[in-house]
Amino acid sequence: MTSLYVWLKFFHLAGLAMFMFGHGISGGASFALRARPVGDVSRALLLLSVWSYGISYPGLLVLIVTGVWMGFVGSWWGRTWIWAAIVLLVVVAGLMTFLSIPFHKARDNMAEGDSVLTERLDKTRPVLAAVIGTVGVAGILFLMVFKPF
């Protein structure tokens, strides 16, 4: 029989996979919408992005709950690496939230005219968001795997 910590790690990684899969759908839609004329396909991609949160948010919840639980089971709260990972997570989430405002405004107002939707989509910066997200996830993974301090 495996320990509780191993099961928590399994669900933690499963939550990460769910979050990355769902969030990747939304990110992929934002890339596909760049320099594309607004129309039915654009609205379908925006709707797909909305639906993807039904996967990513439950995954994020599992990720956070199991991460905190593993912090207690593994007695990690006295170590610096776990706090650095939490700070990095909060910073990346804040930056990604800020960068996604134009995309969310476009998504939330799909029924508006094509010119308004085009204006909102032109303000999105999916490449910058992808770079920040990738570097952030890599940093958190480094801290979780190597526990350097």
User: How high is the pLDDT of residue 114?
Assistant: 87
Rounded mean pLDDT, 4-20: 97
For residue 106, what is the enclosing H or E element? Answer: helix 101-108
pTM of the model: 0.89
Q: Can you tell me the mean pLDDT for 116-137?
A: 93
Element (H, E) at 99: helix 80-99
Token couple for 145:
């795997």
Residue 76 φ then ψ, to 5°: -90, -10
Task: Categorize the per-residue pLDDT at 1 as very low, low, confident or very high, splitting at 50, 70 and 90.
Answer: low
- Say which DSSP state 111 is in: T
Q: Among residues of the chain, what percentage have pLDDT more than 70?
A: 99
Mean pLDDT of the chain, nearest integer: 94
Could you tell me the CA-to-CA distances from 102 to 67, 85, 126 in Å, in that order?
31, 27, 10
- Segment 107-130 shows an average pLDDT of 88
Which of these, 103, 99, 101, lies nearest to 131 by C-alpha position? 99
**What pLDDT does residue 34 have?**
85
Residue 140's alpha-carbon distances to 14, 74, 85, in angstroms, are 16, 17, 5
